[in-house]
């Protein structure tokens, strides 16, 4: 199953610089593991904020929930998830002409 996942992180203002750096490093390592495992298929940064949007691929919503809950910054994240379904145009090759009713 594919999911569109948007993550917005808001770290506490009173979080010290060292703790912040450690948490961000742990989050980057967790994200790298998920990317290498194929769970995060695509990911984009949302400039100007601590946020990203990505395409996640898992077998179930429960697997997605578990992966998100394991992120080191999870307790400071607002996560929006939308399940994705195949669009008929996704079957076309680049440059191929669409045929109505196909």
Tokens 């994240």 correspond to what residue?
77
List per-residue pLDDT tens for the chain, 102 residues long.
999 999 999 999 999 999 999 999 999 999 999 999 999 999 999 999 999 999 999 999 999 999 999 999 999 999 999 999 999 988 888 877 766 665
d(CA 60, CA 9): 24
Query: pTM of the entire structure?
Result: 0.85
> Domains in the chain, start-ordered, CATH in brackets?
2-91 (3.30.70.1060)
Rounded (5°) CA angle 85-70-8? 65
């Amino acid at each position: 199953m594919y999911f569109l996942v948007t993550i917005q992180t808001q770290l506490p203002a009173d979080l010290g610089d060292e703790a912040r750096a450690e948490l961000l490093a742990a989050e980057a390592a967790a994200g790298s593991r998920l990317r290498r495992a194929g769970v995060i298929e695509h990911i984009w940064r949302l400039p100007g904020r601590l946020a990203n949007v990505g395409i996640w691929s898992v077998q179930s919503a429960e697997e997605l929930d578990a992966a998100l809950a394991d992120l080191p910054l999870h307790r400071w994240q607002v996560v929006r998830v939308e399940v994705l379904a195949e669009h008929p145009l996704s079957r076309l090759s680049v440059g191929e002409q669409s045929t109505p009713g196909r």
